[in-house]
Amino acid sequence: MFLSQVILNPRHHDTYRLLADIYAQHRFVMSAFPDRGDDEGNAEGGRSEGEVLYRVDTGPEGRICLLVQSAKAPNWKKASDLHLGVMCSAEEKQDNRNFENGARFRFRLRANPTVCRVNRDAEGSRNPKREGLFKESEQLEWLSRAAERSGFTVNIEAVLVTPRGKREGTKLSPQVGRRPQTITSYAVDFDGMLVVTNRERFVQALHEGIGRGKAWGCGLLSVVRSSR
């Protein structure tokens, strides 16, 4: 597994286009993996399940950092050539960390919390519908369930929840005359402490991501070992 940290240029106008459009973010990230889709990462299937996860973080003094986790080594030189002026720097490394049961980590997860509710129509047929969770209490319950499935526990009362709101993107149609497709994804950040309870499931969750919206910058679980 490879971990990349890409610093984006806060003074370039295309950087703000990326920040404002989740489909543009997807294309930018996938352009570093030219074997997935075309040279600009246009193919919708370019991000196979668990192969590429990413998150855009903003820090002090306008610092914009793109964190990318991938099963294969990225080509950030190619991405930079396709998006001139957007990147300031890119560093990558292989992640060879070992994880064991009982290990404690500080974590950040940007997620798209949803639940599938099954209703029935007038004829009694099942009508499943996936709905977003927008109340903090529901989001924390979602995190607790996701953690159990993913081989770790969290102290829910100590988790910081930061709503990132609704994010949109525009995907142009390859067919002339067809209207662009608007993509919408709601995101929330969870920051806190976790304890590994099932190493195999935890490693799988790290590699595959957690929840939905992975193509749109959600699902990446970032962890840093804690001594407390």
Q: Where are the domains of the chain?
A: 2-94, 104-225
Strands 64-70 and 2-8: what pairing? antiparallel
Which tokens sit at 55? 């998150």
Q: Among 93-107, 166-180, 211-225, which stretch is predicted with the lowest mean pLDDT?
A: 166-180
Give dist(CA 33, CA 189) in Å, integer: 26
C-alpha span between 124 and 105 (Å, rounded):
47
Confidence of residue 38 (pLDDT cuts 50, 70, 90): very low
Element (H, E) at 24: helix 22-30
Q: Please name which of 219, 225, 224, 228 lies closest in space to residue 49, comparing C-alpha atoms.
A: 219
Mean pLDDT of the chain: 88
Superfamily of domain 104-225: Crispr-associated protein; domain 2 (3.30.70.1210)
Would you state the CATH architecture of domain 2-94? Answer: 2-Layer Sandwich (3.30)
CA pair distance 172, 149, nearest whole angstrom: 36
Instruction: Give dist(CA 3, CA 221) in Å, integer.
Output: 12
* Choice between 226 and 166, residue whose per-residue pLDDT is larger: 166
Whether 2-94 shares its CATH topology with 104-225 is answered: yes
Type of residue at 28: F
**Look-up of token digits 């990318």:** 68
Written as one letter, the residue type at 66 is L
> Model pTM?
0.86
176-214 pLDDT, tens per residue?
777 888 999 999 999 999 999 999 999 999 999 999 999
How is 88-116 classified by DSSP, letter by letter? EEEEEEE------TT-EEEEEEEE--EEE
